[in-house]
Amino acid sequence: MYKYIPDLSAIKSGALTKLVEEGRVSGEILIHRGMITEFERRASMGDFMGLNEIKRLRDAALKHNVAIKLIGRSKISMLEDLNARIRNSAAIIDGVLVTCDYVSAKTAEALGIKVLYEKPKGRLKLEEFFDNEDVMSVHIKEGMPPRVKRGAPGKWIFETVREWPFNRSELEDLVEEILERARTFEDGFIEADREGSTIVQLGSYRIVITRPPFSDGLELTAVRPIAKLELEDYALPKKLIDRLEAQAEGILIAGAPGMGKTTFAQALAEFYLRKGKVVKTVEAPRDLQLPCEVTQYSKAKGTSEEIHDVLLLSRPDYTIFDEMRDTEDFKLFADLRLAGVGMVGVVHATTPIDAIQRFVGRVELGMIPSVIDTVIFIKDGAVKKVYAIETTIKVPHGLKEADLARPVVVVNDFLTEEPEYELYVFGEKTFVVPVKKAVKGAEAARRVVENIVRRYAPEYRVEIDERGTAMIYVPKSYASIVMKRCRKKLMKAGKGFGINEVEVYPMLEEY
């Protein structure tokens, strides 16, 4: 009589229960007590999948006259220890290890342990939600009907795809199937696995799974690129193509989430690849869809020091840094750029100037043009704005005295070559000043607005456009305060200066 010893993957996936129901496993099943302890721990965190599968297995075993016994000690310090204990138990009693984990199966075979490996089969259930070509992402949460985001970057709609909600058990099955595929297939891997969240790359799908208590319920979000474009598809001006090919080496690709930044970054990477350049990427997680000639490094799996050393020693012509979020990312970008590596950074930004301001305070102001020379702003999947950056010595815009001349970072519209912003240090504060030719009275209107806003917010930026709209940028926590307390005062005070509308926006915060 065979003795079968399942590991975590065989239980959680329901594979062992299915094998019992099909009559492929009979005799005796030995379950390690450490596995029960692990499932109990997960249940205390809101994940009842393991305990539910144990119950299903016991029901199936009772029905098919299969014995179930507990073995081993319940106290296991680490999950890796549990997997090793289960394999050792199978070896000691000459039992059969049952697993859905390809690595675990290969390890057992190498040790001479009998293995019953049940490989995940068929099409992923998740793929059913991506049957239509225009589906960008799928959003599933327990207790809610599943929804999809359909359309194109910047032009999408949310759509409910069925009327009844996903229950916990159904969503757990979907999650387990994804995790087993990620462990089994060559084009899949688990990018990050934390107590409350898991990030998976499976083929072209980037999947984020969150669990209580990190989230208020089990949730799964899957995203896939719906378009793969070449740089030529963007119909860029020849002047910009020439700059990208011959001059630009510190590039920022900026825009709001979902506007097509990553798609443009992929197109730019392949453009450089066709030009005979060596291209590598730094990603967290790795989700750029690129040819195998491009090596993709994961920031989630390596330190900034390791990535810095590898890139300097491997000497790429260009490195695509996808999803720059925190200060460490910006400093790594700047350090590599100053070391001579061509850098392309992808950042979230509400406006093009916000992308540049992400570097203020992290890099010495005078060094910014050495780190960034070109900013490409993406909106609705298209290039909407391009900035070129340079440093000059001049009296900053808005100041009068000649002895106030100082180094000024000038942000020019690349196509028209007209200056739009100046960045300079006055006292201990860095100023970002719009210098576009404004309508009559706009400068006076801006000062009136600033005099009122400064009473309610410690930081602010005011812009007046040609329609007479005052756009006020303040820290996120102050946006509602300014909107509630200032708007009427601003409209009243600004009416005589041509202000027709007041809009308040939160400044982009660090990730």
pLDDT tens-digit map of 455-510: 888 888 888 876 778 888 888 888 888 888 888 888 877 776 777 788 888 886 54
CATH number listed for the domain at residues 125-223: 3.30.450.90
CATH class of 231-433: alpha beta
Q: Which of 328, 398, 411 is nearest to 363 (CA)?
A: 328
Q: pLDDT at residue 250 above 90?
A: yes
- CATH fold, domain 442-506, is Alpha-Beta Plaits (3.30.70)
**How much is the mean pLDDT over the chain?**
85
User: What mean pLDDT comes out for the span 340-348?
Assistant: 92
pLDDT tens-digit map of 153-191: 767 888 998 888 988 878 888 888 888 788 766 677 888
- Per the CB < 8 A criterion, the answer to whether 156 and 149 are in contact is yes
CATH 3.30.450.90 domain residues, the chain: 125-223
pLDDT band at 368 (very low <50, low <70, confident <90, very high): very high
Q: What is the pLDDT of residue 410?
A: 93
Q: Tokens 């900035």 appear where?
A: 387
- Cβ-based neighbours of 55, under 8 Å, separated by 6 or more: none
As a three-state string, the secondary structure of 281-346 is EEECCCCCCCCCCCEEEECCCCCHHHHHHHHHHHCCCEEEECCCCCHHHHHHHHHHHHCCCEEEEE
Beta-carbon neighbour count of residue 473 at 10 Å?
A: 25
CATH 3.40.50.300 domain residues, the chain: 231-433
CATH number listed for the domain at residues 3-117: 3.40.50.1010
CATH 3.40.50.1010 domain residues, the chain: 3-117
User: What mean pLDDT comes out for the span 86-111?
Assistant: 88
Please give the torsion angle defined by the CA atoms of residues 123, 128, 132 and 136, in that order, rounded to the nearest 10 degrees. -100
Q: pLDDT at residue 438 above 70?
A: no
**Taking each helix axis from N to C terminus, what angle separates 49-63 and 33-44, rounded to the nearest 10 degrees?**
130
- Of residues 221 and 100, the one with the higher pLDDT is 221
Structure tokens at 88: 């050792």
